[in-house]
Amino acid sequence: MKNLPINNNSEKLNGYMSLLNLSYSQVVQYLLNKYGLANSDYFSEKSYERFLKREIKSITKGKFSRTNEGLFCHHIGEDKFENLSNIKFIKVNKYPFKYQKKDRLVYCDLFEHLILHALIAKETLGKLGLRGYKFYIKPIIEDWYIDDLEPEKEWMKTCKVKAFLSSKETKIILYNIDQIIKKADKRRQMRVFGYKDLHRRLNLNMNIKEYNNFKVKKQNMKNELKFIHIKLLKRRELIKKEKELVIKNNIFYNQYPLFRKHKIIHSVSRKSILSMLFNLKYKNIVSSKKELNSLKINDLRDELLDELHFLLEQL
C-alpha cells in the first residue's frame, strides 16, 4: 500500500517523514546533534545500585528533564532492553547502570519519540519498541492532535505545542508509521515460518524439488476441503483472540506483578481502580468515592494504576 500523500508545504511533517527513511542509530545521532547531550544521568548511580540491592524502594532521578522546552528524554538502549525508565522493569531485569548514564540519553519531541519507537520495532521485528508506541506515545498523540484534547499539566501543554501537527498531518504520519510496523511484523512471521519450513523438509528427508511437489499436493487437498478450511480459520481467529487476551494480561502483570495476586486484570475499569484506591488510602481523606473521582479527574489511567500498585506493595 502506498504512503498517503504529503502536503509539500508542510515542512514540519516532511521533516518527520524523512526520519522514517533513516535507521534508529541515524535518528538518534540526528537528535543528539539537534538538541545536544544530557547534563545528568537519568538516575543517581548510588541510589540505583541501592535499589538493585533492595535497600530502598525507589530511585532518585537526575536533573535531566527538559519538558519545560517541550522535550522528552529517551533511553538510547531501548533497542536492546524494554522500558529502561520503569523501576518495576529495572527491579525484575536488573538493567546495568551504564544504560542510565547521560551519554545514553537523547532528547526528542513527541513525534520524534514516536518515530524512535517505531524504528526500534522495525529493526527488532516487533520484539521491542511496540509497548511504548502503542500504549503510551500513540494514544497521547491521538488525544492531543486528532481529538484536540487539551492536557491539564503545564509541561504537557508545552510538549503539545512543541510537536504540533494538524489533525490531517497527524493521521498521515500515524498511517505511514503503522505500515512500517505491519511490514516489520510480516517479516518476523516470514522468518519464523521459513525456519519451520526447512525443519519440516529435513524431517521428511526430501530435497527441495520433492518438498515443493509435496507442498503443491497439500495445497490442492486444502482447496478441495475449502469449507472445512474456512471453519478452521474461524476457529483459529477465536484462538488468536484468546491468546491476545492472555498476552495483554501477561504484559499487564509484567508491569504490575502484584495485580495477578489480587486478580486485577488489564481491562480493569477506571471506576474500579478508584474504588480500590479509596478503600486502601482515601476513605479517611475524602468523604466519598464521588469526591475522589473529582479529585483524580485529570490523572491518567496509568498514573492511577501506578499508585494502586505502590499501595499494594506497602501491604
Residue at 177 is within a domain: yes
**293 and 168 in a common domain:** no
| pLDDT confidence band for 6 (50 / 70 / 90) | very low
| Mean pLDDT (whole number) for 75-88 | 94
Give a yes or no: residue 149 inside a domain. Answer: yes
Residues 129 and 266 in one domain: no
Task: State yes or no: pLDDT of 223 exceeds 90.
Answer: no
For residues 110-119, give the mean pLDDT.
96
**Measured distance CA(17)–CA(7) in Å, rounded:** 11
User: What share of the chain in percent tops pLDDT 70?
Assistant: 86
Predicted pLDDT at 4: 47
pLDDT band at residue 248 using 50, 70 and 90 as cut-offs: confident
C-alpha cell at 117: 519507537
- Report the distance separating Cα 300 and Cα 298, nearest Å: 6
Examine the domain organization and report whether 157 and 20 are in the same domain. Answer: yes
Residues 34 and 157 in one domain: yes
Give the model's pLDDT for residue 27: 98
Q: pLDDT grade, residue 109 (50/70/90)? A: very high
Final residue belonging to a domain, choices 121, 153, 186: 186
Question: 182 and 40, same structural domain?
Answer: yes
Q: What is the mean pLDDT of the chain?
A: 87
* Residue 107 CB coordination number (10 Å): 22
DSSP state letter for 150:
P
pLDDT of res. 125: 85
Shared domain for 20 and 134, answered yes or no, is yes
pLDDT at 2: 41
Does one domain contain both 25 and 164? yes
What percentage of the chain carries pLDDT values higher than 90?
63
Amino acid identity of 77? G
Average pLDDT estimate for 85-100: 94
Is pLDDT of 1 > 70?
no
Same domain, 163 and 286: no
Outline where 124-257 has alpha helix (H). Answer: 130-132, 138-141, 154-162, 167-203, 208-224, 226-255
Does any domain span residue 60? yes
Taking residues 184-197, what's their average pLDDT? 58
pLDDT of res. 13: 94
**Rounded mean pLDDT, 176-204:** 67
Average pLDDT estimate for 139-155: 94
Same domain, 267 and 142: no
Segment 193-198 mean pLDDT: 54
Looking at the domain assignment, is residue 226 inside a domain? no
Per the structure, how many domains does the chain have?
A: 2
Q: What is the mean pLDDT of residues 270-285?
A: 92
Domain range spanning residue 305? 261-314
Q: Does 177 lie in the same domain as 63? A: yes
Distance from C-alpha of 31 to C-alpha of 66, rounded to nearest angstrom:
14
Is pLDDT at 225 greater than 60 in this prediction?
yes
Mean pLDDT for 121-143 is 90
Instruction: Kindly state whether residues 146 and 22 are assigned to the same domain.
Output: yes
Kindly state whether residue 270 falls inside one of the protein's structural domains. yes
6 near 14, Cβ under 8 Å?
A: yes
Residue 274 binned pLDDT confidence (cut-offs 50, 70, 90): very high
- Domain end among 186, 221, 250: 186
Q: Are residues 42 and 141 in the same domain?
A: yes
Residue 155 CA to residue 67 CA, distance in Å, equals: 6
Beta bridge partner(s), residue 74: 106
**Of 161, 186, 211, which one is at a domain's C-terminal end?**
186
158 assigned to some structural domain: yes
In this prediction, residue 195 carries a pLDDT of 52
Q: Is the pLDDT of residue 175 over 90?
A: yes
Higher per-residue confidence, 76 vs 226: 76
Best CA proximity match to 309, nearest among 261, 244, 251: 261
Start-to-end CA span in the chain (Å): 53
Lowest mean pLDDT among 124-133, 145-154, 191-200, 276-285: 191-200
Mean pLDDT of 117-141: 90
What's the pTM value of the predicted model, to 2 decimals?
A: 0.59
